[in-house]
Structure 1
Amino acid sequence: MNQHKQLSFKYRIFGSSLLVALLPLLLCSILMLSIFTDTLERQSHETGEQQIQKLTDRFALILQGEEEALQRLCEDEFVQRSLLDHTTDELVKDVYLALYQATNGMSSGAAFALYDAGGQLKFTTQEGTPQAQLPVNWGLLYKAAQQSGAAYLAEPEQDAASQGLPSLRAVRSVHAANGSRIGYVVCSLTAQQLRQSFAGLLPEGGPLFLFTPQGRLMYASRSGVEEEAQQLREALMAGTLPTQPDQNYFLRTEPVSGCLLILRQPAALSAGAVGLMRSISFASAAISLILCVAISFLLSRSLSRPIERLSHAMHQVRRGDLNAHVDVERQDEIGQLTEDFNEMTTRLKAQVEERVQHQRDLNDAQIRQMQAQLNPHFLYNTLDTMKWLAKIHKLPEVAQLAGGLGSILRSSIASEQFITLRQELVLVEHYIDIQKIRFAGKFQYVIDVPEHLRDIIVPKMILQPLVENSILHGLETSESGYIYIYAQCDEKVLNLSVTDDGCGMSTEMVERLNSPEPKMLQGHLGLYNVMRIVQLYYGQDYGLHATSQAGIGTTVTLRLPAGKEECNAESCNCGR
């Protein structure tokens, strides 16, 4: 940022023109590319999620049909009778009829088999050579004996058509009327039967994989994907899915059997397509850059030359040479600016001395006027106090009032405009003594000003209006008040504060006192004059600051520069 500020106006215009023209194009290209790719990826992801959900629902529907068929066979009278070894030709026909009806009632065409309680094959609809004996102490039949519903287990098939893929077998125990187990009904679902069941639902994008809960591949919708299936199996064993730049994998778990369905779909945009789009965007930006460089150079050159001449003339004026002049060579806004500059320097040369002298005279007049307003204002209140005391007390305290008033009047009419803080505090104490006679017993006061600060030079009669405001306004409704006058010096700044525990000051009054340009305060002429005197002498960095809380009190702080005639105190913190 600092280096940019040090660049000339010409190069700033040149660079800004490039940025204004190039950045929107570049940002829009990047934004559009990002939005486009994100939208396609989101749509592709949603489509993949919908497809894998449909396939999972179809598989769950197949398993639901198997369970219903197993339930019907377990409850079939002929099946139960055949397992009790009461076999007749007529019974055999009825059993096979029940088995084939169960098979035909399922869309998958799964095969059914009956095994007796010892695991011996009794009946089957499966083609080929099914297992004639199944163990009852482990494996499929053992798992079925441990639960009331259907049990699922993937076991290898014996026929060549299975291509080494296991089939998913569902088994259910058959119980006699007395509750004893008399056999098992087994339903076998092979990869070939799954292929027929998923026909019409498989997407064109990628293959579908069906893994058993043990991580063995049971079905793949395409051939030649054995290596990919092995990678998927290893990833599943690690609890993750493989990641490929141009492919997305979607996983679902069938809750009944625990089988895993994985669908692979190509990404919406390949890496090559994204790279091509980026290349087009950057090529457009490069062409725009060349055009912008030429136009920006001409524009910056046209604007910078007259401004450089104006800048050189302004430097002459800043060094005090009011005779600086720039020739007008154009009629546009810059030419008008040049004419205005020449006219400004001409007028400035004629008015600068007059304005300086006028301001000096005005400041002196305002300061004398405001200080003159302080004296009659206080004199009126004091004379009023003396009048009432003379009537009420038969003049016993007039001497003290007159003495204090005389000291204050002598100081107010003296020619010097600045006195030490020590002298100002003496005047404040005279004023407080007079007010204590007027408001007997109504308030107490403490002056806490360190000795090393009392030689600081301050404007005359600058602290008395603050004390007057606390007595006449802050403690107006108090029967017994307290006024605390204190000072502190920090970083060449003297802070004189007057605090009272009276009724507080209104929010509007506090805001007006704290305003950088205070207006006349109704009923607070003394405070307004103090603010104006300080700002005229020292500038806007100095003046009054008030804080107040209703019913708790008010603090008015006067901020002045800490200047001294001499400073010998080692503990002084004023910075001189």
Structure 2
Amino acid sequence: MRSWIRHSFKNRIFVTVLLVTLLPLLFCDVLVMQVQRARSESSLATQAQAQLNGLEQALDTTCLSYRQAAKRLCGSTMIRNALNRKTANSRVVYQLLFMETDRLREHARFDIFSSEGKCLYSTVSPLPEEERNPRWGVLYAAGQTDGLAFGKGTGQTAMTAAQAVRGYGGRILGYVVITMTSTDFERLFDGLYSATHVVILLDPTWQTIYHTQPAQAESSTAALRSQLLAGKPLTGADGEYYYFLTRNEGTGLSLILQQPKTFSSQVMDTFYTVSILMGLMCLLLCLWCAWLLSRHLSQPVHQLDEAMGEIKKGNLEIHMETDREDELGRLTESFNRMTEEYRQNLVRSVARQRELNETQLRMMQAQLNPHFLYNTLDSMKWLGVTHHVPQVATLATDLAVILRAGISGSEFITLEDELELVDRYIDIQSLRFEDRFTCEIDVPDRLQSCLVPKLVLQPLVENAIIHGVVDREDGYIKLQAEEQEGDLLLSVYDNGCGIPPDVLARLNSKDQKIPGEHLGLFNVSSIIRLHFGEKYGISAETTPGDGSCVRLLLPIQKKENNNA
């Protein structure tokens, strides 16, 4: 997989776009749902806990009132006497019973039972005929404690609480019994919880005392009872609810508030199904968009890669067509320009090499076997010395020096050595033309070490003599060197007749079709341009009646920085 990604630009774009678009989308989808669910559950849990606290407070307040009323009734001498079968006025007992249970009768019924379990007095009329067995149930629990005992009721009774009335020596004389029905609990808890919540009240043995939905009481309470006994979190029978529990240590009663989950299992299944379907749709959409984008971006890159492969094979005629106006389109156009320039440079390079070869051939033809000439001049020199003709010896010596420089292996020499060759050449021409001209050389010492191609000044001086001052008796030639913007400028001035306009135009345009009598200038210009580029070479100017000037421009090169 990693190799598949690394070796393809298209695959990298595809994977990157897919990850950048799909992962945040899926992450946000799951995260938003979970955050929303958590926030909703937290809010509902806070609300449920507040409601449970309100229910607990109402129940505790009521139970406390029941305890206090039962304690006062159990401690009454009149009630003890009545239960001890002593003379007692029933009307006075009822007055005491109703007085002690004032406002409590709204939520419960108060009865006074004998020690045998028969109801003797009650806050309701007619007197209940039910009998209770003091050896089990809530009466038995009351006999085992000094306080109020709570338990599950029977029949229509939701809860029963009882406290024993004791005589001297702790003998049980009877019981004060408090009975609450489901209707009583509804009135007690009315307005303290939401309509979607369920209130469950369990006795100390975890039997259901009250359930706001009696039809579900048996199944849900059985599940809760088993989870309580096992010490597990309360989840109910189907796990669709949250349960909040509080237990009163004094009464042993457990109060449970059942709250529906924010999202039921069916709703969550629907959410997950929708999320999966949306994820699949997003995946397909991202795959399609990523493929289109990667193809759109990688296609021109792939074409460029193939075109570069053709260039490597030597096919320089390759040309890419594109109608794009973006960066890749401009890159394609740049590639086409680069290929065209490379092809033209190659053509120019071949032409320059051919021109250099032809120039070298012409120079070799012009040398006319310099070794033979050098030997002949050496013989002429000794003949001149022998026959006492110093002019012949001087001519032969100067010409031999020039020829020796021409056949030496070095292609570049210092400007100082080049000027020495020019001096030799001027000596020869001075003897030939009987000193009808003078030559001045003005070259600064700092430029003497500059490297120049060998024998480039001699054709310029020759042109000034042959075509300039040859017909004058006061000919004047000046050779000057100067530095111009980092380049070396060599100038040869003369006071001759000037250069014809057609020849002057061709010299300044570097036209290669120069007449034969200017072959030397053409060769010098060709050598300079082949070595240093089209910027350099020969230029000329003339003033009718005042002479002409031929200039040679070439870069400054020092001997220590050149290995020629």
- Using the size of structure 2 for normalisation, the TM-score is 0.49
Of structures 1 and 2, the one with the larger relative CO (CA 8 A, separation 6+) is 1
- Using the size of structure 1 for normalisation, the TM-score is 0.48
